[in-house]
Amino acid sequence: MAAKKPLKNEAKKTEKKKVGHSVPSTDPAVASTSAKPKAPSQAAPAALKRAAIEVQTEGGKIWSHVRQKWLVETPEERVRQHFLTVLTNEYGYSIEQIKEEESVTGRGSGQARADFIIWRTPQDQAEQKPPLIVVECKADNVTIQAKDYHQGDHYARMCGAPFFVTHNTRETRFWRVRKDKMPGYIEEIENIPHADASDKQIEELIAKLRTFKEDEFAELLHQCHNVIRNREHLDPAAAFDEIAKILFIKSWVEREMRRKRQRQNLFTADWLDSQLGENPLQELFRQTKEGYKADRIFDERERLNLKPATGREIVRLLERYNLSDTSEDVKGIAFERFLGRTFRGEIGQFFTPRTIVEFMVRMVEPKEGDTVCDPASGSGGFLIRFFEIVREQILADADSQYQQFAESLESKKLSAKAKADRLREKFDEIQKTIDQTRKGSRLWNLANRCIYGCDANDRMARTSKMNMIMHGDGHGGVHQHNGFINVNGIFEGRFDIILTNPPFGANVEPTDVVTQEDVAVPDEEYERCAEVYGKAYKDAHAKVKAAVGKPIASLFELPKAEGKVRTEILFIERCLALLRPGGRLGIV
């Protein structure tokens, strides 16, 4: 006998009960009969007291677990309800500790409303004691501005909260309120307390939480460098390589922790000790190499060349900084400062000062759709700044598109639901264009089709890739290769912009010839480049292939006399040749 099918409304109610708080159907016939959840037994274990909540949507509406009602699903509301799941499921706060869209000035004020106000305990909330945290959420296509930080500070001060958060899914930043400072003084910190933090722990957090300071992190990296040199007796360059490996491990592990929404989201020495095996850091490096396999940063046979105790000490020193949560600007600048100090002072290589990079990049006026190349990329400074500026332009344009569309709806006679539906559709449409993981999106094209560089030094090419990853990506077009010779997407007549600070003072000897290794390209890579770049790539590759065994200088027009040729002469011609007609060149 066939099983009886549940009625439509019964099915709805059953589906909604999978979350910790009951979610009535939007169907009026059902909403009035939805049962409220039973209070958990006081003796129940903590893990059983509160099930994880989930975002629930239905028919253009989204369920508010705090307000216990359906709301119109605007993009802003969706951001808010998603972050509520983070506050409850990851930080452990209960719905009873949270108020949503709550006035911070008392009843009767419709202007100053915080997205979330969180109390230390449900009892504190019931007794109207000062809260612990204020949260301000913004839509994903809205770049959080300084005024949003100050608004959060203002709201937190008004209700006496020691912490506030500014959030959209593009970035989440944590702040503490300094009551010994004037309003408007804001201080960024690394995190907010979890729900089970004791009073003493919260006091310690208020006193000790520190932001990711560029100078501090750069100094810490230098300290790690010295530990490796002293314990392992490695030269400065080799010690740098080992730090780079651990930074990649740390970035990968913390990214995975965040992706899996683990409460433990820091790569700490204690967490490392809990892993199986005699040398778990070596195993994590293997997994990290696999995670970055497509980027070809590490050779498959490469190992972490540190004793387990040394590796653990480096992890311990770095553990208070979360590379997954820290903004690209901050950790990128810190990494650059460490690079400058290490390579300039101990390895003898110099990088272009950041102020010069900024001036030159601004001078050539990069815009979306421009392709850029640095044939002597070094640490990648020019390419990184190009990426940052054009990314800012794209995100600002996305913001503008959404705001203009929202304003255009104001003059139309639409219901709240119809307006929200259109806003949501437009929001999702724009979001797809700025999803960097989505092939063909504006940011994907910027990172994968517009930025190219190479450096003859293997260590510098890897450093450039790592520096770009620290700043938010764009590293896929960087190669370890002789800058005078075509490789993959780098060939004549292709670029709108060349920015470079090539090595001067050296010579190209007549015995420096184009080798088979210089032009060798795996069949799969050749086919990919031919598909992306077309006939121009095939012709450029054929040109250098025909030059195998000939002097590198024979590829150029300027050096007429026989004998050695200054590298600066060849680099100037190379840069001009790489430009397409009307291109812009900035060279030191």
pLDDT band at 263 (very low <50, low <70, confident <90, very high): low
Radius of gyration over alpha carbons of the chain, in Å? 28
The pLDDT of residue 255: 77
The partner residues of 174 in beta bridges, in order of sequence, read 165, 189
**What percent of the chain has pLDDT above 90?**
33
Assigned CATH topology for domain 17-26+51-208 = tt1808, chain A (3.90.1570)
Q: How confident is the model at residue 14 (pLDDT cuts 50, 70, 90)?
A: very low
**How much is the pTM?**
0.74
Spatial separation of the C-alpha atoms in residues 284 and 162, rounded to whole Å? 38
- Of residues 237 and 375, the one with the higher pLDDT is 375
| Chain segment 319-330, per-residue pLDDT in tens | 877 776 555 555
Question: Two tokens at 152?
Answer: 């959060």
Number of other residues whose CB lies within 10 A of the CB of residue 462? 21
Q: Which residues contact 194 (CB under 8 A, 6 or more apart)?
A: 91, 92, 263
Average pLDDT (78-100) is 93
Task: Dump pLDDT digits (tens) for 434-451.
Answer: 988 889 999 999 988 999
Which three-class secondary structure state does DSSP give residue 35?
Answer: coil
Strand partners, 133: 118, 163
The confidence band for 45, taking pLDDT boundaries of 50, 70 and 90, is very low
Report the pLDDT value the prediction gives residue 509, as an integer from 0 to 100.
87
**What is the structure's pLDDT at 343?**
62
First to last CA, the chain: 84
User: Do the first three CATH levels of 17-26+51-208 and 352-587 match, i.e. the same topology?
Assistant: no
| Pairwise CA distance, residues 247 & 339, whole Å | 13
Q: Identify the band that residue 262 occupies on the pLDDT scale cut at 50, 70 and 90.
A: low
Is the pLDDT at 540 greater than 70? The verdict is: yes
Residue type, 467: N
Kindly tell me if the per-residue pLDDT of 309 is higher than 80.
Answer: yes
Q: Which of 64-68, 147-151, 259-263, 500-504 has the highest mean pLDDT?
A: 64-68
- Quick one: average pLDDT of 43-54? 55
Which of 170-179, 401-410, 573-582 is least confident? 170-179
* β strands within 111-230, DSSP E: 113-118, 133-137, 163-168, 171-177, 186-189
| Per-residue pLDDT, 28 | 36
Please provide the average confidence, as pLDDT, over all residues in the chain.
81
Q: Give kind and range of the element (H or E) at residue 443.
A: helix 442-449
The pLDDT value recorded for residue 572 is: 92
Over 60: is that where the pLDDT of 42 sits? no
286: pLDDT confidence band, cut at 50, 70 and 90?
very high
- Of 80-84, 112-116, 252-256, minimum mean pLDDT range: 252-256
pLDDT for position 149: 81
pLDDT band at 68 (very low <50, low <70, confident <90, very high): very high
Give me the mean pLDDT over the 520-534 stretch: 88
pLDDT band at 408 (very low <50, low <70, confident <90, very high): very high
Residues 535, 570: contact at Cβ < 8 Å? no
Query: Can you point out the beta strands (E) in 201-352?
Result: none
Residue 541 has pLDDT above 60, yes or no: yes
Query: Can you give the pLDDT at residue 54?
Result: 92
Looking at the predicted structure, is the pLDDT value of residue 298 above 70?
Answer: yes
Highest-confidence range of 464-478, 487-501, 561-575, by mean pLDDT? 487-501
Q: What is the pLDDT of residue 578?
A: 95
pLDDT at position 334 is: 65
- The contacts of residue 468 (CB under 8 Å, 6+ apart) are 380, 383, 384, 387, 451, 474, 475, 478
Top mean-pLDDT range of 250-254, 292-296, 426-430: 426-430
* Structural domain boundaries in the chain: 17-26+51-208, 214-344, 352-587
CA atoms within 13 A on the CB side of 363: 14
Q: What percent of the chain shows pLDDT beyond 70? A: 80
* Amino acid in the structure at residue 148: D
Instruction: Quote the CA–CA distance of 588 and 574 in Å, as a whole number.
Output: 14
pLDDT at position 36, please?
Answer: 39
CATH number of 352-587: 3.40.50
Residue 326 has what pLDDT? 56
Element (H, E) at 582: strand 579-587
Q: What is the pLDDT of residue 40?
A: 34
